Amino acid sequence: MDHIALVLEHLSKIELLILLPLAVLGGMVIGAIPGLTSTMAVGVLLPFTLFLDPLTGVLILVGIGKGSLFGGSISAILMNVPGTPAAACTVIDGYPLAQKGQAGRAIETALWASFIGDLMSVVALVLLAGWLASFGQKFGPKEFFALILLSLTVIAALSQSGLLRGICGGMLGLLLGTVGLDLVNATPRFVFGSDNLAEGIPFLPLLIGLFALPDIIEHYMSKARDLKPHVIDKTRYTRADFRKTLPTILKGSAIGITMGAIPGIGATASTFISYAEAKRSSPDRAEFGKGALSGVAAAESANSGTKAATLIPLLALGVPGDVITAILLGAFYFHGLTPGPLLFQQNLPFIHALYIALFVSGFCILIFGYALKRWMTLIASVPRDLLYPPIVFLTIIGAYALSNTMFAVYTMFAFGVMGILLRRLRIPAPTVLIGFVLSELLEDSLRQALLISRGDVADLFQSPLALGLHAATVIVVTTVAYRAIRRSRFGKVGSAEAQE
């Protein structure tokens, strides 16, 4: 009874009841405007959530992320421009449907696919996170070291810039994480005589600088024109449509959950896998690309299916799989909570309240999706030129509000410059952020393991679990390197043939 009372106490906070639906709604609006990404939104709004209680703060960020996944499909369908990267696949069939005068039907298909994908993902989280956390209790320092190394390698390997630059990005994050006072020896590292750096590089300015500012600067560099969206018509997603697309939605959700639970794959890749599978198994294969409802359903169910699933490794083991979960990990730390097996032991009511709120937020998507339908054309056509300067102002305020010093603002701009440079150098910024977040945990695990083994590096490979994780790391590196070499060889042959 005490447990239920504690869960209800978490859930009955008035700010949660008001702010969670608003966060989902805000996420949908942000996702619907091309150029505004959920990463940008979550990063910019994170400072403001730190003044709230932990559950509300974390759920606002999750709500924005969930809402934006569906929101991305709005501009994909109405404007042929994915509002978020994860909606790139929705464009393929969503926009042709809008051209045929069936934008309303396409939006409702995306809405139901997102809703079902999201619910299934939360069910998977409830079923798997606790089990994985109890398994994680067997982890000692060397197993954690091996696990983090594997996660970082998988994330780096799956980055679009290739394995080497992905790992370089991860290492840059790890290096940035070492700045400040070394907790074991109490000696300063890379502080360069600055008192401000003694506590390390602040997380928020780094996050906002790396992810929000470069997007805005790139917008002004490319001077992309705002497009005119299609108008929402009165076509509906009927029961017959639902029956026809349900198998695709269920399959897409399962693919999304599987891909989301593996660090590094993320929503975008899962939508393409789901779409390819839907096309392969569909009797109406020829319709795909010309306005197939199943195409929209496959993409949307998969991208929403990843959302709660990405929380499985985060909550159970403390390992983030993408940028949003890395930001969430930072938010957990800010609130004094450490995701991992201990969270399940010490804060189970918090976890259960989180599960319930995640279910509720799924219903919010469905309700707001229908409520907003007639306004979607208007939302998608908001000019970015008017939106970006206030966002820059908000980033400045957000960075300042955390520490009440201009140092955080200067740091944010410095990382903004770094973010632009990283894009030019094609080093993936998400791996930098994830490396930064995991740096302390990785170094502590390594140092503890070596302290226990009295400096014997071979001991890192002694436990079967650690050995298995290291073997998986080697397999990932070898496979990706082999594929890259093969691709470059075939690429050369292909280009030579083309020249002939």
Q: How far is Cα 60 from Cα 49, in angstroms, rounded to an integer?
A: 7
Q: How far is Cα 178 from Cα 189, in angstroms, rounded to an integer?
A: 7
275 part of the interface to another protein, by CB under 8 A: no
Return the range that interacts with another protein (CB under 8 A); candidates 95-103, 233-241, 363-371, 383-391. Answer: 383-391
Q: How far is Cα 466 from Cα 314, in angstroms, rounded to an integer?
A: 19
Distances (CA, A) of 170 to 157, 195, 388: 10, 26, 29
Interface mask (CB under 8 A) for another protein, residues 214-243, using x and -? ---x--xxxx--------------------
Angle at the Cα of 171 (from 330 to 478), degrees rounded to 5? 115
Applying CB under 8 A, among 401, 465, 472, 477 the residue interacting with another protein is 401
407 part of the interface to another protein, by CB under 8 A: no
Q: How far is Cα 40 from Cα 480, in angstroms, rounded to an integer?
A: 30
135 part of the interface to another protein, by CB under 8 A: no
Q: Which is nearer to another protein, 103 or 179 (CB)?
A: 179
Q: Which is nearer to another protein, 6 or 450 (CB)?
A: 450
Residues whose CB falls within 8 Å of the CB of residue 125, separated by 6 or more in sequence, listed in order: 308, 309, 311, 312, 315, 355, 358
3-state secondary structure of 147: helix
Q: How far is Cα 173 from Cα 101, in angstroms, rounded to an integer?
A: 47
Nearest distance from C-beta of residue 69 to another protein, angstroms: 26
Applying CB under 8 A, among 234, 239, 280, 454 the residue interacting with another protein is 454
DSSP label at residue 81: S
Nearest distance from C-beta of residue 137 to another protein, angstroms: 25
Nearest distance from C-beta of residue 147 to another protein, angstroms: 17
Return the range that interacts with another protein (CB under 8 A); candidates 38-46, 98-106, 126-134, 379-387. Answer: 379-387
Return the range that interacts with another protein (CB under 8 A); candidates 29-37, 38-46, 168-176, 314-322. Answer: 168-176
Q: How far is Cα 227 from Cα 223, in angstroms, rounded to an integer?
A: 12
Residue 322 identity: D
Which is it for the CA torsion 224, 230, 231, 234, positive or negative? negative
Distances (CA, A) of 160 to 27, 205, 410, 452: 25, 25, 30, 38
Dihedral in degrees, nearest 10, Cα atoms 134, 138, 139, 140:
140
Distances (CA, A) of 138 to 465, 468, 471: 9, 14, 18
Distances (CA, A) of 216 to 35, 133, 323, 377: 8, 39, 18, 23
Nearest distance from C-beta of residue 151 to another protein, angstroms: 16
Q: Which is nearer to another protein, 133 or 201 (CB)?
A: 201
Nearest distance from C-beta of residue 440 to another protein, angstroms: 10
Q: How far is Cα 270 from Cα 141, in angstroms, rounded to an integer?
A: 32
Extract the tokens encoding 195.
């008192």
Applying CB under 8 A, among 131, 135, 410, 490 the residue interacting with another protein is 410
289: region left, alpha or beta (phi > 0 left; psi from -120 to 50 alpha):
left
Nearest distance from C-beta of residue 408 to another protein, angstroms: 12
Applying CB under 8 A, among 195, 280, 404, 497 the residue interacting with another protein is 404
Q: Which of 124, 39, 92 is nearest to 300 (CA)?
A: 92
Return the range that interacts with another protein (CB under 8 A); candidates 78-86, 127-135, 245-253, 420-428. Answer: 420-428
Nearest distance from C-beta of residue 4 to another protein, angstroms: 33
18 part of the interface to another protein, by CB under 8 A: no
Interface mask (CB under 8 A) for another protein, residues 45-74, using x and -? ------x-----------------------
385 part of the interface to another protein, by CB under 8 A: yes
Q: Which is nearer to another protein, 287 or 440 (CB)?
A: 440
Residue 195: what are its φ and ψ, rounded to 5°? -65, -35
Angle at the Cα of 367 (from 364 to 370), degrees rounded to 5? 140
Return the range that interacts with another protein (CB under 8 A); candidates 4-12, 117-125, 163-171, 287-295. Answer: 163-171
Nearest distance from C-beta of residue 385 to another protein, angstroms: 4
Q: Which is nearer to another protein, 184 or 475 (CB)?
A: 184
289 part of the interface to another protein, by CB under 8 A: no
128 part of the interface to another protein, by CB under 8 A: no
Nearest distance from C-beta of residue 451 to another protein, angstroms: 4
Q: Which residues, in sequence order, are bridge partners of residue 247? A: none
Q: Which is nearer to another protein, 104 or 200 (CB)?
A: 200
352 part of the interface to another protein, by CB under 8 A: no
499 part of the interface to another protein, by CB under 8 A: no
Residue with token string 């639902």: 242
* Residues within the interface to another protein (CB under 8 A): 51, 161-162, 164-165, 167-168, 171-172, 174-175, 178, 182, 184-192, 217, 220-223, 383, 385-386, 388-390, 392-394, 396-397, 400-401, 404, 406, 409-410, 413, 420, 424-427, 443, 446-447, 450-451, 454-455, 488, 491-492
